[in-house]
């Protein structure tokens, strides 16, 4: 295969995951065969990815990397995420994921109200990174790109405040109940999106991506997302796509005149599940101004 053709065949996957052509080249199977993105092996793997995704979305825009994810390495049985080595980002990951069990006396009936973070989530140091998992289950997410010592220090600080659940070898009873009580969620769709998270980031210096469920559907929101044509291509047809269909679109990306406070929206439908995904790009055009630098400095001191 000539180099230009090979480069073309890895293009969509590079855009969706941040992987390098060099890393992807050995995966190419033959002429004209673009690379796909493997889905999570089973419902449990998809669920872990979806629940982690839903929590860390709260981070907002701290860097050009949405959720602080520089690169995704999607494999069937494990998802590897390279995070930006920024203390404030790592602090948020620990803060949002860390399972906390509230005292029984001041909480409601539903066990889910008594656990914040991801119920049952544990973290373990592995060579070169940190492994997120749930005791007794095979699902795993590997985090890389930073010093595991730093992660441990941040986690230890949280332990002082919340207790040492993150390093307990087993589930607490409340976490188990919260896990069992969780309604059926579109875990597959959320996992698929996390495996393509880079597709939701635009070219600007600050990106944030948020998802939440709404009725039967999912809302996907970016503050400074990519041109809609790129996102639509990456999520619909094509080897890395999800087979989604576009059912409605309001887009100003190709306008030659300025639009003030006008974002774009695209309604997708996932034919496989019948679920709608409503996307909007708020187009805030954020920059790395002094406020943002100050915010980062403040978060570093609070979170790490």
* Minimum CB distance to Zn ion smaller for 24 or for 264: 264
From residue 228 to residue 247, what is the string marking binding to Zn ion with x (rule CB under 5 A)? x-------------------
- 255 lies in the binding site for Zn ion (CB under 5 A): yes
Q: What DSSP state is assigned to residue 91? A: H
In the complex, the smallest distance separating the C-beta of residue 266 from Zn ion, rounded to whole angstroms, is 8
For residues 99 and 163, what is the distance between their CA atoms, to the nearest angstrom? 9
Among 253, 269, 288, 296, binds Zn ion (CB under 5 A): 253
Count the site residues for Zn ion by CB under 5 A: 6
In the complex, the smallest distance separating the C-beta of residue 226 from Zn ion, rounded to whole angstroms, is 9
Burial letters for 122-131: b for 16+ Cβ neighbours within 10 Å, e otherwise?
bbeeeeebbb
In the complex, the smallest distance separating the C-beta of residue 59 from Zn ion, rounded to whole angstroms, is 24
Stretch that binds Zn ion, among 65-73, 193-201, 257-265, 291-299 (CB under 5 A): 257-265
Q: Which residues inside 96-115 make contact with Zn ion, applying CB under 5 A?
A: none
Burial of residue 189 (CB within 10 Å: 0-12, 13-18, 19+) is: buried
- The gap from C-alpha 61 to its chain's centroid, in whole angstroms, comes to 13
In the complex, the smallest distance separating the C-beta of residue 211 from Zn ion, rounded to whole angstroms, is 18
In the complex, the smallest distance separating the C-beta of residue 203 from Zn ion, rounded to whole angstroms, is 13
| Cβ atoms of 62 and 297 closer than 8 Å | no
Strand 275-281 relative to strand 264-270: parallel, antiparallel, unpaired? antiparallel
* Minimum CB distance to Zn ion smaller for 277 or for 303: 277
Strand 275-281 relative to strand 217-222: parallel, antiparallel, unpaired? parallel
* Minimum CB distance to Zn ion smaller for 251 or for 269: 251
Q: Following CA atoms 265, 271, 272, 273 in sequence, which dihedral angle do they give, to the nearest 10 degrees?
A: 70
In the complex, the smallest distance separating the C-beta of residue 194 from Zn ion, rounded to whole angstroms, is 22
**Nearest alpha-carbon partner for 13 in 194, 240, 268, 166:** 240
Q: Which residues inside 259-298 make contact with Zn ion, applying CB under 5 A?
A: 264
Contacting positions for Zn ion (CB under 5 A): 228, 251-253, 255, 264
């Amino acid at each position: 295969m000539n180099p230009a053709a090979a480069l073309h065949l890895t293009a969509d996957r590079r855009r969706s995951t941040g992987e390098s052509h060099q890393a992807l080249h050995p995966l190419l199977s033959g002429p004209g065969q673009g690379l796909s993105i493997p889905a999570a092996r089973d419902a449990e793997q998809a669920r872990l990815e979806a629940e982690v995704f839903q929590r860390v979305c709260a981070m907002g825009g701290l860097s050009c990397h949405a959720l602080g994810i520089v690169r995704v390495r999607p494999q069937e049985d494990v998802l590897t995420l390279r995070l930006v080595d920024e203390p404030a980002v790592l602090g948020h990951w620990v803060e949002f994921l860390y399972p906390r069990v509230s005292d029984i006396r001041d909480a409601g009936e539903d066990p889910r109200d008594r656990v914040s973070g991801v119920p049952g989530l544990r973290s373990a140091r592995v060579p070169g990174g940190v492994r997120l998992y749930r005791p007794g289950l095979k699902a795993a997410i590997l985090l890389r790109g930073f010093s595991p010592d730093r992660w441990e220090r941040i986690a230890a600080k949280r332990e002082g405040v919340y207790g040492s659940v993150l390093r307990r070898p087993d589930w607490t009873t409340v976490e188990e109940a919260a896990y069992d009580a969780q309604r059926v969620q579109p875990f597959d769709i959320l996992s698929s999106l996390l495996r393509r998270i880079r597709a939701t980031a635009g070219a600007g210096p600050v990106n944030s991506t948020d998802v939440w469920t709404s009725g039967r559907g999912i809302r996907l929101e970016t503050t400074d997302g990519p041109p809609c044509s790129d996102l639509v291509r990456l999520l619909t047809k094509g080897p890395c796509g999800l087979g989604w269909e576009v059912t409605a679109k309001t887009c100003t990306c190709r306008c030659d005149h300025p639009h003030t406070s006008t974002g774009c929206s695209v309604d997708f439908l996932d034919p496989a599940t019948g679920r709608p995904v409503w996307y909007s790009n708020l187009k805030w055009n954020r920059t790395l101004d002094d406020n943002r630098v100050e915010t980062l400095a403040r978060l570093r001191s609070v979170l790490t």
